[in-house]
Amino acid sequence: MNLFKEFRQTVLQELESLVEAGRLPPGLDYGRVSVEPPRDPENGDISTNAAMVLAKPSGSKPRDLAEALAERLGGLDAVTDVTVGGPGFINLRLDKGVWYERLREILAAGTAYGESDLGQRRAVNVEYVSTNPTGPLTVGHARGAVVGDALASLLAKVGYKVTREYYINDAGGQVDVLARSAYLRYREALGEDIGEIPEGLYPGEYLKETGRALAERDGDKWLGVEEDSWLPALREFAIAAMMDLIRRDLAALGVHQDVFSSENALVQAGEVEAVLESLEERGLLYTGVLEPPKGKPPPDDWEPRPQLLFKATQFGDSEDRALKKPDGSWTYFAGDLANHLDKFRRGFAEMIDVWGEDHSGYVKRTTAGVKALTDGRASSTSRSAGWSP
């Protein structure tokens, strides 16, 4: 058992002893009584707020109640010193034997030490890494992988039923750029001098391997063919190659996911349209014009245009959010909402996203969207991999 949880039971027993002695009235609510490390280690090993939270309902002065409880706790074999600090905190110092016994428990339990039923087998989805499948992982991605995997392990340790997920952003313009970049390397693998990589394509050397693999598989099948014919096939091939590269990097890091979900699969299944229908039914969509980006000059091509907007401000966001771009295509946010609604439908009322620092602006809008789509039945917690607790 956790040391502080164990001593909380001891404190509650001593409080009941004070009830039996007539010092406290029966039927007190002990729910707010905590036992935890003191803020200042100089004050001891354990601190409890029992006297402070029970003084008013028991009709006692906090200091008087603290001294009465401290007297009882000071008589325990495990306690070598007890003091009352401030308005009524009780600080305890424990005998060395308590810590020796704890070490014996740790050695006996091995890797099982620290396990608990805190989560009560509640399902929680932890999504992490989820980098675009357009290249190998960076150091920043690795940080997110480690943070997410450690968090998932801690949740499993304390009794949650954890699913580790990677959301593949395999829809949208970035994967078309990937396919065109891979096609250039494919032509190079077949002996063509491709010259400088055109601006707007991915110049990474890692795509040479993808081009060679495609040339080995298909020969010159795609040379001289219109883009509309080869783009879907190369997009699928290149995404698979990048995900294989990413999986190898994650495996080398000792990180794994239970589920790899696909944005493109959600789009093809009409799940983004389902999000819009759901929000429309709730009266949460309208056509409006967003203000230009705050804190920086607007892009040269920015102009006020009517867009389909979600009433995110009704759910705690700082502004309403676009679900469609002016050209009619989905925003990244629309696909992300489909992803979270899909997770909710798969049984996850608790969802945690570990994102990069560049996604900090998506935290409030995603939280708002999840609240709206699930009528508050689900919660989404999004954090940067570089956050400070």
Residue ranges covered by each domain of the chain = 3-97, 123-167+255-384, 173-253
Residue with the larger pLDDT of the pair 361 and 235: 235
Give the tens place of pLDDT for each residue, 274-298.
Answer: 999 999 999 999 999 887 767 666 6
Residue with the larger pLDDT of the pair 234 and 303: 234
The confidence score (pLDDT) of residue 387 equals 43
What is the rounded average pLDDT of the residues 28-56?
Answer: 94
| Residue 388 pLDDT exceeds 60 | no
What is the rounded average pLDDT of the residues 66-89?
Answer: 94
Confidence of residue 302 (pLDDT cuts 50, 70, 90): low
What is the rounded average pLDDT of the residues 50-57?
Answer: 95
Q: How far apart are CA 155 and CA 125, in angstroms?
A: 10
The structural architecture, per CATH, of the domain 3-97 is: 2-Layer Sandwich (3.30)
The confidence score (pLDDT) of residue 172 equals 86
Number of Cβ within a 10 Å radius of residue 209? 13
Q: How far apart are CA 314 and CA 92, in angstroms?
A: 48
- Which superfamily does 123-167+255-384 belong to? HUPs (3.40.50.620)
Query: What DSSP string describes 229-281?
Result: HHHHHHHHHHHHHHHHHHHHHHHHHT---SEEEEHHHHHHTTHHHHHHHHHHH
| Residue 385 pLDDT exceeds 60 | no
Across the chain, mean pLDDT equals: 92
Rounded (to 5) percent helix, strand, coil in the chain: 50, 15, 35
Long-range contacts, stretch 308-313, CB < 8 angstroms, 24+ apart: 308/276, 309/285, 310/279, 310/284, 310/285, 310/368, 310/369, 310/372, 311/284, 311/285, 311/286, 311/372, 312/364, 312/365, 312/368, 312/369, 312/372, 313/368
| Residue 245 pLDDT exceeds 60 | yes
Taking CA 46 as the corner, what is the angle to CA 43 and CA 48, rounded to the nearest 5 degrees? 100
The confidence score (pLDDT) of residue 300 equals 63
Give the tens place of pLDDT for each residue, 152-207.
Answer: 999 999 999 999 999 999 998 999 999 999 999 999 999 999 999 999 999 999 99
| Residue 223 pLDDT exceeds 90 | yes
